[in-house]
Amino acid sequence: MNFIFKFILLFSKLPLRVFYIISDFIYFVIYDLVGYRRKVVLENLQNSFPNKSPEELKKIEKKFYVNFCDYIVETFKSFTISSNELRVRVQHLNQDVFHEAKSENKNVILLAGHIFNWEWFNVLATIIPQENSFPVYRKVQSGFWEEKIKGLRNRFGNQPLEAKEVIRHIFRNPNDGNSVYMFVADQTPHVSEVTYGLNFMNQRTPVFVGYDKLSTRMDLAFVFCEMKKVKRGYYQINYYRIYPDGEKFVEHEVVKKFHHLLENTINKRPDNYLWSHRRWKYQHAIKVMGE
């Protein structure tokens, strides 16, 4: 395994222009030859966009696979890409939200979706005024790759936290405006953890509520990350503060607002969302549906 990883590191040093040639080849293999998860992607698109024609859905499907293949090679590049190159390739807009939260002595909860390329916003730690940046990740079964993926998330001064540890860490960490927690918040809960659901992308959708529980117990700054692929290898992230309608957040308010914002982002550029993920497989386990 170490030999394989050393090869990956060496491979990762190739210029991105070479990676995109490889991405085109991967597209040919997984879309045209193998048909990787094409049934899942098409079903997700049909259910999410019932008013679109088969021709429109096919166009979205093909563009999705182009973006997905770019994501694959960009993830390999992430092992060695420099912070300077990432700061050129990923533009972070509306950074005032971080200075605002720091002046209010509130830690920040960043909420992103599976919009390409979410792996590249870790360089944010080199830009913001907060001293501590904690990307949240989910464990993988292989201990070897667990260590390597954690190392990838550990770059640029980040301190990765496993998903099961993060809530406890947030409660124990001083809420002083010096910490940012980075969630990819549209993960699918395990069937045993599904309780609450929302109507998201025209479907009954199980949602995580852990970060929502934080909103009613702590005075934190919640920020939505709107990610946009400008062109191949270049992205913009616009940060929007999520405010309560009243004096403070009520139960499920943050999770509803996050999914509403994410849905708007997906509708602007549907090919940039991770449609190969079985996002809706546990619909049957929802016990309470939000309005």
Picking from 245, 279, 217, the residue whose alpha carbon sits closest to that of residue 48 is 279
213-269: per-residue pLDDT in tens? 899 999 999 999 999 999 999 999 999 999 999 999 999 999 999 999 999 999 999
User: Where do we find the tokens 């607002």?
Assistant: 257
The Cβ of residue 201 has, within 10 Å, a number of other Cβ atoms equal to 20
The Cβ of residue 212 has, within 10 Å, a number of other Cβ atoms equal to 22
Note the pLDDT of residue 236. Answer: 97
Picking from 1, 287, 285, 286, the residue whose alpha carbon sits closest to that of residue 143 is 1
Residue 270 has pLDDT above 80, yes or no: yes
Q: How far is Cα 37 from Cα 54, in angstroms, rounded to an integer?
A: 18
Note the pLDDT of residue 203. Answer: 96
Note the pLDDT of residue 34. Answer: 95
Contacts 24+ apart (CB under 8 A), 44-47: 44/275, 44/279, 44/280, 45/270, 45/275, 47/201, 47/202, 47/203, 47/280
Note the pLDDT of residue 164. Answer: 84
Note the pLDDT of residue 137. Answer: 80
Split at pLDDT 50, 70, 90, the class of 155 is confident
Q: How far is Cα 263 from Cα 261, in angstroms, rounded to an integer?
A: 5
180-213: per-residue pLDDT in tens? 999 999 988 889 889 999 999 999 999 998 899 8
Q: Please give the radius of gyration of the chain, using alpha carbons only, rounded to the nearest integer.
A: 19
Note the pLDDT of residue 143. Answer: 61
Q: How far is Cα 21 from Cα 18, in angstroms, rounded to an integer?
A: 5
Note the pLDDT of residue 145. Answer: 58
What are 199's two structure tokens?
């109507």
What are 88's two structure tokens?
């050129």
Residue 141 has pLDDT above 70, yes or no: no
Comparing 149 with 185, the larger pLDDT belongs to 185
Percent of the chain whose predicted confidence (pLDDT) is above 90: 78
Note the pLDDT of residue 116. Answer: 95
Note the pLDDT of residue 250. Answer: 96
Residue 84 burial by Cβ neighbours in a 10 Å radius (0-12, 13-18, 19+): exposed
- What stretch of H or E contains 70? helix 54-77
Rounded to the nearest integer, the mean pLDDT of the chain is: 92
Note the pLDDT of residue 7. Answer: 74
Q: How far is Cα 12 from Cα 72, in angstroms, rounded to an integer?
A: 12
Whole-angstrom CA distances from 134 to 37, 51, 108, 262 are 32, 40, 10, 21
Instruction: Return the percent helix, strand and coil in the chain, to nearest 5.
Output: 50, 20, 30
